[in-house]
Structure 1
């Protein structure tokens, strides 16, 4: 652009400007969706099934309707449009119809003038259940003789991967069976939203979500309304990690608002939130690695079973990720892998940070440690010998066409100085280590892990984002407004969009408009894709603005921007897509399924009291290629946060499900890492630009969650000598009690 812009613009890409929402959040002034309020507002509540599998033989609403202050009690018969919703496969009832398939399934909803009245009314609804034996084991669900959770059967998707010759043998073979427990996203803001009936017969929904247009399509269909009569606006989101991709109370709040003609707010309690969103799939995995005497892989055979729970959610995509990424960032000439996603009567599972790659990484990295021991190699060296390089092929046959610094990441974390005990040594303090010991039984271990993750939606999904950039004169100086439907869920996207506009247009004043459905879709804030795809759309919209400015100025050098904008604002809307992906071959799993690959490596140091089974992670070192750090401080924050979430899965986080019932739906019993559990971290950020991505960037948010878990467990194995094959690791796994 030859138009003159003011020099000295700050806060562009590559810097770390203060996040506009940061101060408000840390001071408690930020308005989250649970803070919403409207005049004459009613409160919604949900009655949920206490049984994982049962037929509904009758529902009596009389006592609930008789309670003063109750304005509506609705069941499946009151759903005005489509009776089912779902992200990929619409199999989940808005409200249970004839049967329930998991404990916690919504059966009826209530609107009342006080939240406690709504809860009391819901408790008065009398439901007659014929309790049936639940299907709760994923492997057993695959048996053709098993009871069917859905009429079509229990198999959601089978993904076979066949690469290279299928009959290879090897002089060194290691076999292992592994298990991953069900993890919760544990976001701090439970599900909430406010629905307001509109004068045109439609509804306005202010909602904490990850995907405004994903919600819009499902909500409009279930309400029996055209999409233009359902308008969604993003409310303040208190974290997501995949748990807000699916619809929860969106349709319920809108139904109650339309039925009563008044605004209706729904806010889940913490306990209800455990039933109100999907979780990470529990998994069982069997791996066989064959290698030569030097530790170079010849083949991998694997079987992965993901328990998807009662409804599909994103299980079909998750199992594809688990299998296509299931050998890790390694060069393997022969792959025989089968991934299965199955229905059970357990709570539904779907998207969570890492999206299938987490479960697979725990297994294949455990196998790499076993292989290192079998051939007498250092755990890092055996990985380096097999590390992917640019030009290598994935199990799907897709060529790795961007930077793949697998060996470099591993060497970087290995070569960092070893962690030294703090001074004074905790064993010398009152109470000793963890207030339980003076260190008599404490052993130290070091472990490594590296993982691979795809970025963006895969398998031919039309993955795009829409961005509108408006440049105008405000108060005598140029100012820009950027508008997308991309959900800011805490990852810092609003900051990055403003940085891109400042960089591309050279204007200091940038406003990021509230995300809503009055503009085209931006897709989901998941798959580490928003900076790539919505950032790409914002960049492209800015380029369109520059072209229009160039046209107006006639290409004259040095034209004043304010003068050129005197003709009126420049307003450009762009849809931007990355390079295409393609479906997997259903028989062989071959195909260019993914947009981009991202890599992270971890070294974990742990102290374990082998007598008490207590674990403390004392240091973590990590190295990750981010392509280009648009906001370096946020990049480091994403890496630290993702690592902490992987730590949680390694040693504490698990939803305890017994016979289909969640036994620990609270943060008292479902443990997540606190600041006291997260150790010092050394974070090494590489910037090896991806030539296909805007600014060369690479998705950041998920890779650290993937490789931190196996690194920590490897360190625990090194400290204890116990062959650990399940996460999270519990004290009884170490002490045998």
Structure 2
């Protein structure tokens, strides 16, 4: 094979090796929880045990008398604004006169040892007056956002199917808990080293609460052990800074696993009612949908989640008549906000379940019903937005259907490890049935509805030891998705220089926005590309070394903005709200023990259009990872909440898929470039999370004959419901 320039440089289109790979595999990578400074002290947060209560008094005296305790703070010690928030500043730094959810921060303790701080926090005497909690979103009266999407007038059809669906509360379940180190500065400000997704918005929320100008609050990204949306909101950031400024000493806060469940937002649980009408040959005529999202105690990013659920509420299908209403409400349940898939996941489970029911009613296969209604380039979404780049859904479904199926189960000498439940099987496979299911998902890429979405990059080329070297600086958070690797690949491709350093992200550079919405390859990749092109232009056609010998160091800063978006009309839901749309389709094959209610996913197959694969290996990892989180939502992951209290805040009781739960995957990656995007790329991290869940649920339905309208599907949903004969698939 002839080596191209890009391949030689490990540039765009090549599976370049990640610079952090070896360190993470060997356990030497420095995460935020590993931070250390001489003289630092430890911070701990006291949290409410009640989902809803008045605070009548707080006595910090007993905690202050513990040897080693240096400070105990309450809301009275907050020097600036008492509240913060992503979209609405409704979340208190520390509870003032009430608590609205279990786990709400009430007081802070700093001590010379973390155990001392924890013991002291338990001694802070808080007098609560519990009050009735609103925990059923159907009874909630406070609305975060209500977004209808309406078009057309025909709501009658030959074939009509209805269904009510429910999605449980999923946790992002990142492996590195919230952590950071706040260091007071000589100028009266503070330097915060933290695991986050969004450096500048963290700063912009912190500064008013600390009573400081933004330039005196400096954030540097530390090692992040996963994010998936949960690090968009503040957690320990403001608390560590408050303690550091009070004590004039470095303060470190690291959550344990249980506290982490209370310290970040979760995926919105949803209740949805759908009605699909179609012609007898399966062409959609109309869709009605009512989507109710439980936002929990505070706003977070719920308005944007509601907008996504509404605008993508019927999926990637052509539907001339729609009446969709998405509503987010406040309750006294745990706060909910961003999680991979961001509102589109919940709707996808419902509309894909409906497409399967419609296929059955029309006598069509699950693939054919989707093919007949698939959007394509030039189609109009339910919001009136025209799909103006490739959307090869029909082709993707064909590719998926043509992928080989896994072999049949052996019926004689079966290995128990291949059965649902593994070696703990008690029926030895006689009640195991096989099922196949399909799922399709559509996800918006980048921020939507008029948000000023941009990224800034600084690129510097110079001679180091006589050889050309490039330094790339952005504020974009590397949260495990491989963004640092990609920035270096872009610099190598655009400048023809192999030696590239991507500096640690911090707020000394202009904002790069959040590492969410599958947007960083698009916007930060675009910014790095622009800055590199500006540097290359100053080479004036000379080779890099010769140009740099003549000119000295060259540095350029560029800001990348994608095309504008617009808010949805609050009455009709019409508007060009999204930048880019991405599609993924899944096929799931499962074995189900219908007596025990156990499920084994035998295989997942996925076809995804990515525009252009910038790093093929990292891309495959994103599809595997998104599929794993979709599997978790389908079969095991749920924060169980009863009367506003979390019942399972641990990885013992909150189950996430392990390597033993994930099946082999067949992938088919298509590349239909988007002409408006850098390199033609299409964000790829979120779409697999959408379509994997309904595909698995559909496969379980096929194996059991049950409707199964709620995820995660629990063993009792299968074993206790399965009273009739079940055909062996």
Given the two structures, how large is their TM-score scaled by the length of structure 2? 0.97
1:161 equivalent among 111, 126, 149 = 149
Deviation larger for 133-142 or 6-15: 6-15
1:357 equivalent among 334, 344, 364 = 344
For residues 313-712 of structure 1, the aligned pairs below 5 Å read 313-421=300-408, 427-429=414-416, 434-435=422-423, 436=425, 437-550=427-540, 558=542, 561-712=545-696
Q: How many residues align?
A: 715
Partner of 1:277: 264
Deviations 1:667-699 (A, max 9, x none): 000000000000000011011100000000000
- 1:477 Cα deviation from its structure 2 partner: 1.1
Q: Distance in 1 between matches of 2:5 and 2:271?
A: 59
- 1:168 Cα deviation from its structure 2 partner: 2.6
- 1:427 Cα deviation from its structure 2 partner: 2.7
- 1:490 Cα deviation from its structure 2 partner: 0.1
For residues 285-300 of structure 1, the aligned pairs below 5 Å read 285-300=272-287
- 1:37 Cα deviation from its structure 2 partner: 0.2
Asked whether the equivalents of residues 477 and 562 of structure 1 are also in contact (C-alpha less than 8 Å), the reply is no
Asked whether the equivalents of residues 428 and 438 of structure 1 are also in contact (C-alpha less than 8 Å), the reply is no
The CA RMSD measured in Å over matched residues stands at 1.4
For residues 199-278 of structure 1, the aligned pairs below 5 Å read 199-278=186-265
Q: Distance in 1 between matches of 2:87 and 2:107?
A: 24
- Specify the SS of the correspondent of 2:354: helix
Asked whether the equivalents of residues 548 and 554 of structure 2 are also in contact (C-alpha less than 8 Å), the reply is no
Q: Distance in 2 between matches of 1:77 and 1:261?
A: 19
- Specify the SS of the correspondent of 1:695: helix
Q: Distance in 2 between matches of 1:10 and 1:368?
A: 47
Asked whether the equivalents of residues 426 and 432 of structure 1 are also in contact (C-alpha less than 8 Å), the reply is no
- Specify the SS of the correspondent of 1:498: helix
1:713 equivalent among 687, 697, 700 = 697
- 1:564 Cα deviation from its structure 2 partner: 4.0
- 1:432 Cα deviation from its structure 2 partner: 6.0
Asked whether the equivalents of residues 137 and 331 of structure 2 are also in contact (C-alpha less than 8 Å), the reply is yes
Partner of 1:12: 11
For residues 110-149 of structure 1, the aligned pairs below 5 Å read 110-142=109-141
- 1:443 Cα deviation from its structure 2 partner: 0.2
Asked whether the equivalents of residues 539 and 547 of structure 2 are also in contact (C-alpha less than 8 Å), the reply is no
- 1:423 Cα deviation from its structure 2 partner: 7.2
Q: Distance in 1 between matches of 2:116 and 2:72?
A: 12
> Structure 1, unaligned stretches of length 5 or more?
143-153, 551-556
Q: Distance in 2 between matches of 1:513 and 1:163?
A: 49
Deviations 1:88-134 (A, max 9, x none): 11100000010000000000001000000000010000000000010
- 1:438 Cα deviation from its structure 2 partner: 1.6
- Specify the SS of the correspondent of 1:349: coil
Q: Distance in 2 between matches of 1:440 and 1:559?
A: 70
Q: Distance in 2 between matches of 1:479 and 1:129?
A: 60
Compared CA separation, residues 451 and 559, structure 1 to 2 (3 A): closer
Given the two structures, how large is their TM-score scaled by the length of structure 1? 0.96
Partner of 1:72: 71
Q: Distance in 2 between matches of 1:181 and 1:326?
A: 18
Q: Distance in 1 between matches of 2:328 and 2:73?
A: 33
Q: Distance in 2 between matches of 1:315 and 1:20?
A: 35
Asked whether the equivalents of residues 468 and 548 of structure 2 are also in contact (C-alpha less than 8 Å), the reply is no
Asked whether the equivalents of residues 6 and 507 of structure 1 are also in contact (C-alpha less than 8 Å), the reply is no
Deviations 1:8-53 (A, max 9, x none): 8420000011100011001000000000001100000000000000
Deviations 1:176-216 (A, max 9, x none): 00000000000000000000000000000000000000100
Partner of 1:151: none
- Specify the SS of the correspondent of 1:407: helix
For residues 31-50 of structure 1, the aligned pairs below 5 Å read 31-50=30-49
Q: Distance in 1 between matches of 2:190 and 2:552?
A: 34
Q: Distance in 2 between matches of 1:171 and 1:299?
A: 11
Asked whether the equivalents of residues 419 and 591 of structure 2 are also in contact (C-alpha less than 8 Å), the reply is no
Compared CA separation, residues 308 and 256, structure 1 to 2 (3 A): same
> Structure 2, unaligned stretches of length 5 or more?
722-729
- Specify the SS of the correspondent of 2:555: strand
- Specify the SS of the correspondent of 1:57: strand
1:193 equivalent among 146, 155, 180 = 180
